[in-house]
Amino acid sequence: MNSKKWEPRIVAFFCNWCTYRAADLAGISRMKYAPNVRIIRVMCTGRIDPQFILNAFSKGADGVLIGGCHPGDCHYVEGNYKALRRFRLLSRMLKDMGIEEGRLRLEWISASEGEKVQWAVNNMLEKVRGMGPLDLPDHFKEWDKEMEMVKPELSEKVVRNG
Amino acid sequence: MDDLKEEIRIGVYVCHCGTNIAGIIDVKEVSRTAAGLPGVVISRDYKYMCSYPGQAIIQEDIKEYKLTRLIVAACSPLMHEETFRNAAAKGGLNPFSFQMVNIREHGAWVNDDKEAVTMKANDLIRAAVYRIVCHKPFQRTRVDIQPSVLVVGGGIAGIQAALTIANAGKKVFLVEREPTIGGHMAKFDKTFPTLDCAACILTPKMTSVKAHPNITLWAYSEVRKVEGFVGNYKVQVGRKPRYIHEDLCVGCLKCIDSCVYEKPQFPKEFDLGLSKRKPVYIPFPQAVPQIPVIDPETCNKIKFGKCKQLCMEACNERKAIDFDQKEKIEEIEVGAIIIATGFKIFDPKRLPCYGYGIYQNIYTSIEVERLLNASGPTGGKVVLQNGKKPETVGIIHCVGSRDVLNTNSWCSRVCCLYSLKLAHLLKEHTEAKIYNFYIDIRAPGKNMEEFYNRVSKEGIHFIRGRAASVTLDDSDENMSGVVIQAEDTLIGKTLKVPVDMVVLSVGMEPQPDAKEVGRMFSIPCAENSFFLEQHPKLAPVSTMTEGIFLAGCCQGPKDIPDTVAQAGAAASEALSLIDNGYKELEPYTAYIEEDECAGCKTCIPLCPYSAISLHEEKKKAIIQETLCRGCGVCVSACPSGSIKQKLFEDREIFCEINGVLERQ
Amino acid sequence: MGKEKPKIAFYWCASCGGCDESFLDLAEDILDLVEKIDIVFWPVALDYKRKDLEALPDQSILMTMINGSLRTSEQEEMALLLRRKSKILIAYGTCAHLGGIPSLANQFEREKILEYLYKSAPSVVNKENVLPKIQYDEKGHKVTLPEFRNVVRSLDQVVDVDYYLPGCSPPPKLLKKAFSLLLSQELPSKGSVLAPDIALCYECPRIESKPKDLSIAEFKRLHHTQPAPEKCFLAQGIACIGPATRGGCEARCIQGNMPCTGCFGPTSRVRDQGAKILSALASSVKAKSEEDIDRALSGIPDPVGSFYRYGLAKSLLRVKRIESNNSVESKNNGVEK
C-alpha cells in the first residue's frame, strides 16, 4: 500500500447526452465536488460494457459510477434500459465476488441536474471511503507473491492477466 | 490495418483558458508530466488554445514535429471538440486523430484542491495518451439527399406541412387514407377561442393543396412499404381503388345523382352516421379532390355484379367509372418524411355508464359539431329525437381522458375548450340550460382563459366533478330524458341532474394502427402509443429515425394552433435537411467485422433504429451505417466482441480506463 | 530408426483426467501419431519420473501439453520444469487455458476449503481434526507435501505459454489439427488459441430457430424445464453461453440437448467472457423496471457459476474478495501450525 493517505478512486462513465452535460453544467455553475472522480465519456450508457467496469475495478478503482439519462429520456430511445438490466445482474455478480454493493452505482442524471452530479460524486465518495480500499491490483500482487519461492523471477514480473 | 507499424507521435496542448484553468491547475506541471508519457513528442501550455494563435501553434507543430496524434486538454469537448478537429484537419491530420480532455468543466471549475485537481488533469491526459494510440483515421460518411418530402396524413397538420414545403419550391407527396383531405378539422363547425368557422379557414388551404404545382396529392391512398434511410427513403404508396379514375373525372357528380339508389340510405362516414349517403358519394361538398368514390361494400355492381349502371351512363364518354379498378402501387423516393397521421376519437361505448348507444339523445362532441354545422345532417338545427329543441343539455368532460383506471391517463388538452365552445354554440342555437361536468377547467394558451371567462358569463352552469353515470329519467313521462349523476366536489354533494341531451366530450387517442405504422417507419411509440419525439423539448418534431418528422396529434393531443405551428416546424426541419443536398453521418457509427460475426443475432433486436439485419446467405449481422446513430449498445452487447464503434472501440476505452487508474 | 522423432511430453495438474483421456479419443489416429513422435513423459500412462525429465537437456522436448489448473507448489515446479525442457508449451484443455472448473474454488478462502474438506463436510470423519501439513516427521522420516496455494491459476498465470488448445476436454478434431500444425513446424503466432476465432453460434444446428427479435421474458433454470430438442436455448429462456464462447466443438453439448456452458472460453476480441455473456443476456431481457428485471433474471441465481464456470481464474476479477481486516499476509503462513 502507498505510504500516502488512502484516497478513494472513482471511475465514472457518463453518457454524452445527459450526465456528461450535467457534469459540464456543474462546472459552469462552479459547484465543487470531490476531485477523486475520473469521468470517461461514452455516447450512451448502453455502450458501457460490463468488461469496462470489471477492468476499472481490477486496475484499481474503488468505485464505479454510471450516469445516464432518466428512464424514458434516453437519446437513443432505450439504451439506458439496457444499461439498467446489465447493472442489475452485474451488481449481483459483483456481490457474489465480494465487491460490496455501492461500489458500483447507477444514477439517472439529466443534463439539467448539475447538482445531482455533485451530490452523486460526493455521496458515493463518502460511502466508498467508509468501505475502505478495494485495491484489487495489490491483492493480485499479494496472491502472486506465494509463487516467489518456486519461481523467484516471478516476483519482478506481473503475472500475465490479459 | 493493425499490422501496419504506424509511428505514434503525439502532441499534447494544455490550455490555460486565461485563469479559468491555470488559476487552479498547475498547467506547467501538467504539460511537463505529459511530455514524459509514451509517444508524446511535444507538450505545450498556452493561454487560449481555441484562439487563432493557439490553433496556429498546433498546426505548425503538426508539420514541424510530424505529429500523428493530437490532444488538447481544455474545456468540454461539447464546447470545442469540433474546433480542434478542424484545426487538426487544417494542419493535415485526420480530424479523428484528435482527443479532447476536459480539465475545465470537469476539473478546474469543480475543485479547489490545487494538488488534487492537477493530479486529476494528469490522469485524464494520461488516459487520452493511452487511448489515442488506438485511434484510426476515417472520414465521416456523407449521403446525398433527395430534395422531396412525403407527408403522410392530410389533416390540417399534413396540409400545413405540405404547403410550407411546396411553397419553398420542393416537391411534396401528400398521402391521405380517406377519400378527401381535411381530417377532423373539416368536420368541426367553429373553432375555439375565436369561434371562426372551421371550413372557412380550412377549405382554402385544401384547395391550394390540390392546385399547387409542387404537391402530388394521393387521397384514398396508404403507405405500404418504407425502405432506405435519411435522404433516400424508398416508399411504396398503395392507391386504393375509388372505381373512378381521378384523371378522367371532372367532378360533375352526375354519377351520384343518377345512381340506382334514388335516396341516400347508407350511413355517411363524414357525418358519423348521422346522415345517409349513396354507394357513390363525395364525403362533403368541399372535399378535395372533388372526385366521388364508390363504396364496394354497398355498390350493387361491385358487391353483387348486378346493376343497371346508370352512373356509367351518366358519366358517358368520360368513362371515368371503372368497376374493375385495382389498387395501384406508386413508388417514390423522398429525402424526408413527415408523419401527420392524426388521432382517433375516443369511443364512448367503452364507458357504458354514460349510456352512449343505449339511450337516446346522447352524442359525442364531434357528432354535435356536425349537428351544429349548417351543412350537417340537420342543416344546423339542434333537435332531439322527438323533433323538439332541448331545454337542458349536460356536457360531460374528460370522457376517455384523465381516467387512469378505465381508459386513458392523459389529458386530451382540447376537450375543456371545445366543451366551452359547444356550450356557447348550443346555448346560441337552442337557448337551453347547459351544465358542464368537469374535473378541472384547463384553458392554457393565448386567449383561452379569456374565452373561458367569456363563456362562463353567458349563464352556463359548471359542476365540478366527474360525472358518474347517465341513467334513464324515471320521472320523465316520455321516458326520453336522462339523469346525470355526479358529485359536486366543491360542495361535497351528490347531484342528479335531469337533462334532455348529453354531450360526451370525448378525448383523443392514438390511431389504432399507430404501432404498425411506427414499425413501418422505424419510429417508436411512447408508452401511450402516441409517436415518440426525439426529445420532448429540444427536438419535439424529430423522431429517433433521422429524416422522419412528426406533426399534429399523432405525437400527442393538441389544438389547431399548436398543430399548425408544429406542422410548420416539421416542414422547416424537413426543408433544412433536404435543402442542404447532403448529410454527414455521426462519426461514431458501429460496424461488424464479417469474419468475426457468428450470426448469433443478439444485436439485432437491441438496435433502436433497426439498423442491424441478418444477411440471409452469409448468416451474419450487418449494420447499415446510414441508419446507425452511434449509441454503441450493440457493441457492448455483442457476446463475441465482433462489433466495433468508431472512436469508442473496446480497446480505446480499456486504455482510457487503464490510463486514469495508473499510479504515478 | 533413422532420424530422431520429435519428443513430446504430457502432464496433468489439477485436472479430472478427462484431458488425458481425450488423447485416446483420437482412436486409430493415435497409432499414426505415435509413429511420428516419441513420448518422453506422461505420468498418467507411462512410468517416467521427475528425475527422468530433469535429466533431459533444456529445450529438448519439442512440445509439451499440460492440462489442469494449478494450485500447488508441485504443479508450479513441474510447469516450470517442463517449460524449461520444452520448445513449445501448450495449455491443453480448459483448466490449463482458463483455470477451468477448479478455479471456481477462487470464490472460497483456502482455510474454508481445508476446513470443509477435512472437517465439516458431511462425509468426513476426522475426530482428531487432522489437517494436511507441509512437513511431517514420521519416525524420523521427514515427509513433505506440496504447498496448497491461496488461489487457483491457469497455466499462463504461472509460466509462459505458447499456445492454447481449448475445451473440456478438447475435441479430437482440434487435437489432430493442432498436432499436424505443430509437427509441420507451421507455427501460428504465439499466444494463439488453436480453435476458430468465432463464437459457437456459427456452427450451432439450432441457430435458425433463434428469432431475430428475441426478447427474453424470464430465464428458466435447465432443471425446471424440458428443453425442446431443436430450438435455440435462448429462445426458450435458458441461458446458453454459446454466443460468448469460441466455436470448434461442433456444438457437442447442444447436440446432446444441453446448452453451452462456455468451456472453449471467449474469442480473442473479448477480455472477460463472463462479463460479455452477462451483457448480452441482460440486454436481451424484456423487462424495464428494476423489480421486473430482477424477476426475469432470477432464473440465473448464480451468475459467477453460470458465466465463469470455466474461466474464473482468467477473469478480470480472478478471485472472490474476502473481506478481512488483515489482508492476505496473514493467510500466507503455511497450511497449519
DSSP assignment of B488-522:
ETTTTEEEEEEESEEEEEE-EEE-TTHHHHHHHHT
DSSP state of B105: I
CB burial string B108-129: b at 16+ within 10 A, e below: bbbbeeeeebbbbbbbbbbbbb
Average pLDDT of chain A, as a whole number: 90
Helix axis angle, A19-28 to B77-90, nearest 10° = 100
Interface check for B638 against chain C (CB to CB < 8 A): the answer is yes
Q: Are residues B422 and B465 in the same domain?
A: yes
Neighbours of C44 (CB within 10 A): 14
Is B654 inside a domain boundary? no
Looking at B104, B138, B172, which one is the last position of a domain? B138
pLDDT at residue A159 above 60? no
**What is the per-residue pLDDT across B108-159, written as a single tens digit (0 to 9) for each?**
999 999 999 999 999 999 999 999 999 999 998 888 999 999 999 999 999 9
Tell me which amino acid residue B550 is.
Answer: L
Is B460 inside a domain boundary? yes
Name the A residues in 117-146 with CB < 8 Å from any B CB.
Answer: 118
**What is the per-residue pLDDT across B239-281, written as a single tens digit (0 to 9) for each?**
999 999 999 999 999 999 999 999 999 999 999 999 999 999 9
Nearest by CB to residue A151, choosing from C76, C285, C332, is C76
Tell me which amino acid residue B510 is.
Answer: P
Q: Are residues B533 and B469 in the same domain?
A: no
Tell me which amino acid residue B99 is.
Answer: Q
CA B140 centroid distance within chain: 28
Instruction: Please report, for the domain that includes residue B504, its CATH number.
Output: 3.50.50.60
Interatomic CA distance for residues B405 and B409, integer angstroms: 8
* H/E segment holding residue B587: none
pLDDT of residue A155: 40
Is A154 inside a domain boundary? no
The tally of domains found in chain A comes to 1
pLDDT of residue B433: 96
Interatomic CA distance for residues B462 and C144, integer angstroms: 98
In this structure, are residues B424 and B455 in contact, taking their beta carbons and an 8 Å threshold? yes
DSSP state of B72: E
pLDDT of residue A72: 79
Q: Are A93 and C293 a contacting pair at CB < 8 A?
A: no
What residues make up the domain containing B607? 590-645
| % of chain C with per-residue pLDDT over 70 | 95
Selected for mutation to probe chain A from B100, B109, B110, B124 (highest A CB count within 10 Å) is: B110
Nearest by CB to residue C198, choosing from B596, B602, B604, is B596
Q: Are residues B148 and B134 in the same domain?
A: no
In this structure, are residues C107 and C317 in contact, taking their beta carbons and an 8 Å threshold? no
pLDDT at residue B22 above 60? yes
Instruction: Name the residue in chain C with its Cα closest to that of B638.
Output: C280
Set of chain B residues whose Cβ sits within 8 Å of the Cβ of C214: 601-602, 605
Average pLDDT of chain B, as a whole number: 94
Nearest by CB to residue A47, choosing from B102, B535, B631, is B631
pLDDT of residue B650: 97
Q: Are C202 and B599 a contacting pair at CB < 8 A?
A: yes
Q: Are B656 and A44 a contacting pair at CB < 8 A?
A: no
Q: Output the CA–CA distances (angstroms, integers) from residue B276 to A124, B263, B288, B378, in the order listed.
A: 70, 9, 20, 11
Interatomic CA distance for residues B384 and B381, integer angstroms: 10
Region B546-556 average pLDDT? 96
Set of chain B residues whose Cβ sits within 8 Å of the Cβ of C265: none
Shortest Cα distance, chain B CAs vs residue A112, angstroms: 12
Residues near B87 by Cβ (< 8 Å), separated by ≥ 6? B55, B58, B59
Tell me the three state secondary structure of residue B262.
coil
Q: Are C243 and B640 a contacting pair at CB < 8 A?
A: yes
Residues of A with CB under 8 A from a CB of C: 46, 49-51, 53-55, 57-58, 71, 81-82, 84-86, 88-90, 92-93, 96-100, 134, 136, 139-140, 142-147, 149-151, 159-162
Looking at B585, B600, B615, which one is the last position of a domain? B585
pLDDT of residue C337: 33
Give the Cα-Cα-Cα angle B295, B300, B305 (nearest 5 degrees). Answer: 115
In sequence order, what are the beta bridge partners of B150?
Answer: B173, B337
Mean pLDDT of each 10-residue bin along chain C, 337 residues long = 82 95 91 91 92 95 96 94 96 98 96 93 92 88 92 96 96 93 87 97 97 95 94 97 97 96 97 98 96 97 97 96 55 38
Region B393-400 average pLDDT? 97
How much is the ipTM here? 0.94
Interatomic CA distance for residues B392 and A132, integer angstroms: 76
Set of chain C residues whose Cβ sits within 8 Å of the Cβ of A61: none
pLDDT of residue B523: 83
Instruction: Please report, for the domain that includes residue B14, its CATH number.
Output: 3.40.50
Set of chain A residues whose Cβ sits within 8 Å of the Cβ of B127: 38, 40
Shortest Cα distance, chain C CAs vs residue B508, angstroms: 27
Which cell numbers hold the place of B202?
A: 380550412
Q: Output the CA–CA distances (angstroms, integers) from residue B183 to B164, B371, B511, B553, C3, in the order listed.
A: 18, 18, 13, 11, 93
Nearest by CB to residue B598, choosing from C202, C270, C277, is C202
pLDDT of residue B211: 96
Set of chain A residues whose Cβ sits within 8 Å of the Cβ of C302: 96
Which cell numbers hold the place of B263?
A: 335516396
pLDDT at residue B222 above 90? yes
Is A62 inside a domain boundary? yes
Interatomic CA distance for residues C330 and C150, integer angstroms: 11
**What is the per-residue pLDDT across C75-88, written as a single tens digit (0 to 9) for each?**
999 999 999 999 99
Name the B residues in 338-377 with CB < 8 Å from any A CB.
Answer: none
pLDDT of residue B343: 98
Is A161 inside a domain boundary? no
The tally of domains found in chain B comes to 5
Q: Are residues B487 and B575 in the same domain?
A: no
The DSSP string of C38-95 is EEEE-TTTS---HHHHHHSPTT-EEEEEEESBEEEHHHHHHHHHHHHHEEEEEEEHHH
Set of chain B residues whose Cβ sits within 8 Å of the Cβ of C250: none
Binned at pLDDT 50, 70 and 90, residue B524 comes out as: confident
pLDDT of residue C324: 57
Looking at B509, B535, B564, which one is the last position of a domain? B509
Nearest by CB to residue B640, choosing from C215, C267, C284, is C267
pLDDT at residue A161 above 80? no
Interatomic CA distance for residues C192 and C161, integer angstroms: 10
pLDDT of residue A153: 53
Which cell numbers hold the place of C56?
A: 533431459
Interface check for B102 against chain A (CB to CB < 8 A): the answer is yes
Interface check for B76 against chain A (CB to CB < 8 A): the answer is yes
Q: Are residues B187 and B331 in the same domain?
A: yes
Is A158 inside a domain boundary? no
Instruction: Name the residue in chain C with its Cα closest to that of B649.
Output: C269
Interatomic CA distance for residues B610 and C178, integer angstroms: 41
Interatomic CA distance for residues B337 and B237, integer angstroms: 13
Comparing CA positions, the residue from C262, C203, C212, C263 lying closest to residue C235 is C212
Is B5 inside a domain boundary? no
Is B445 inside a domain boundary? yes
pLDDT of residue B475: 80
DSSP state of B463: E
Q: Are C269 and B641 a contacting pair at CB < 8 A?
A: yes
Is B129 inside a domain boundary? yes
Q: Are B642 and C201 a contacting pair at CB < 8 A?
A: no
In this structure, are residues B530 and B413 in contact, taking their beta carbons and an 8 Å threshold? no
Is B3 inside a domain boundary? no
The DSSP string of B355-423 is -TTTSTTEEEHHHHHHHHSTTSTTTT----TTSPPPSEEEEEEEETSS-TTTS--S--SSHHHHHHHHH
Q: Are residues B503 and B374 in the same domain?
A: yes
Is B371 inside a domain boundary? yes
Q: Are residues B452 and B411 in the same domain?
A: yes
Set of chain A residues whose Cβ sits within 8 Å of the Cβ of B629: 76
In the A/C pair of chains, how many CB contacts fall below 8 A? 131
Instruction: Please report, for the domain that includes residue A86, its CATH number.
Output: 3.40.50.960
Instruction: Please report, for the domain that includes residue B610, its CATH number.
Output: 3.30.70.20
Interatomic CA distance for residues C13 and B138, integer angstroms: 48
Interatomic CA distance for residues B247 and B615, integer angstroms: 43
Binned at pLDDT 50, 70 and 90, residue B165 comes out as: very high
Q: Are residues B473 and B387 in the same domain?
A: yes
Interface check for C304 against chain A (CB to CB < 8 A): the answer is yes
Comparing CA positions, the residue from B196, B315, B184 lying closest to residue B244 is B315
Give the Cα-Cα-Cα angle B577, B578, B583 (nearest 5 degrees). Answer: 60
Q: Are residues B41 and B124 in the same domain?
A: yes
Binned at pLDDT 50, 70 and 90, residue B525 comes out as: confident
What residues make up the domain containing A74? 10-134
In this structure, are residues B79 and B21 in contact, taking their beta carbons and an 8 Å threshold? no
Q: Which homologous superfamily does the CATH classification assign to the domain defined by C7-102+152-183?
A: NADH:ubiquinone oxidoreductase-like, 20kDa subunit (3.40.50.700)
User: How much helix, strand and coil, in percent to the nearest 5, is found in chain A?
Assistant: 45, 15, 40
Interatomic CA distance for residues B553 and B563, integer angstroms: 7
Instruction: Name the residue in chain C with its Cα closest to that of B598.
Output: C202
Is A162 inside a domain boundary? no
Q: Are residues B381 and B505 in the same domain?
A: yes
Q: Are residues B600 and B540 in the same domain?
A: no
Q: Are residues B68 and B172 in the same domain?
A: no
Name the B residues in 126-165 with CB < 8 Å from any A CB.
Answer: 127
Name the C residues in 148-167 with CB < 8 Å from any A CB.
Answer: 149-151, 153, 156-158, 160
Shortest Cα distance, chain C CAs vs residue B645, angstroms: 14
